[in-house]
Amino acid sequence: MANWRRITGAAGLVVGATAAGAGALVAAERIAISRFRGRPSPAGEAFGSLRGLELTVLAEDGVPLHVEINGPDTAPMTIIFCHGYTLNQDCWHFQRRDLSDHRLVFWDQRDHGRSGRSAAGSGSIGQLGTDLKAVIDAAAPGPGPVVLVGHSMAWRAAARGCRPRSGPR
């Protein structure tokens, strides 16, 4: 009987210590997050508040794609940012702010952000690649290089949008 009490007592001590540790971690996380949220943005702007020159690009099936362009047309290269699933172009807030001396193109994929909604079943990776090609053709002027930056599933769309084709780029 003494062994049973020792075992249950030790188990209770382990469970109690684990619960106390988990509680301390949750409390520390909440304190850290509340401190972070209370800080002003380093540049004083609200996240997602930066905007560029707006452009609407029509996808091959007529879905309007919302595009914003920052930076000069004469920049030596164009950088196109492709967000991930369930996001929108605002996820690139800090890149938009910190790379302002380049020509930057941000776009909302179909069914995301301020782009139009498409028919059910037309949101494939292949379709996103075709949409990206339309954005490249409309927003990347001249023969200069184009750099694609993709987050999450966007790298697959970028790979589809970069298939070899005739002409430079």
* Cβ(86)–Cβ(152) below 8 Å: no
The number of C-alpha atoms within 13 Å of 152 and in the hemisphere containing its C-beta is 9
Q: Which of 82, 65, 52, 75 is nearest to 149 (CA)?
A: 82
Q: Tell me the per-residue pLDDT of 34-61, one tens digit each, with 9 for 90 and over.
A: 555 555 555 567 887 889 999 999 999 9
Mean pLDDT across the chain: 79
Q: What is the pLDDT of residue 34?
A: 56
Q: What is the pLDDT of residue 67?
A: 96
The residue behind tokens 């037309």 is 122
The CA-based dihedral angle spanning residues 54, 107, 61, 157, taken in that order and rounded to the nearest 10 degrees: 160
Which tokens sit at 100?
Answer: 């302002």
Contacts of 47 (CB under 8 A, 6+ apart): 41, 90, 93
Which residues on neighbouring strands pair with residue 106, listed in sequence order?
Answer: 68, 81
CA separation for the pair 142, 77 (Å, rounded): 9
Q: What is the pLDDT of residue 32?
A: 60
CA angle in degrees (0–180, nearest 5) for 153-108-102: 95
What parts of the chain have a pLDDT lower than 50?
A: 165-166, 168-169
Q: How far is CA 143 from the centre of its chain?
A: 27
Q: What is the pLDDT of residue 42?
A: 58
Backbone angles phi, psi at 35, to 5 degrees: -70, -40
The number of C-alpha atoms within 13 Å of 18 and in the hemisphere containing its C-beta is 6
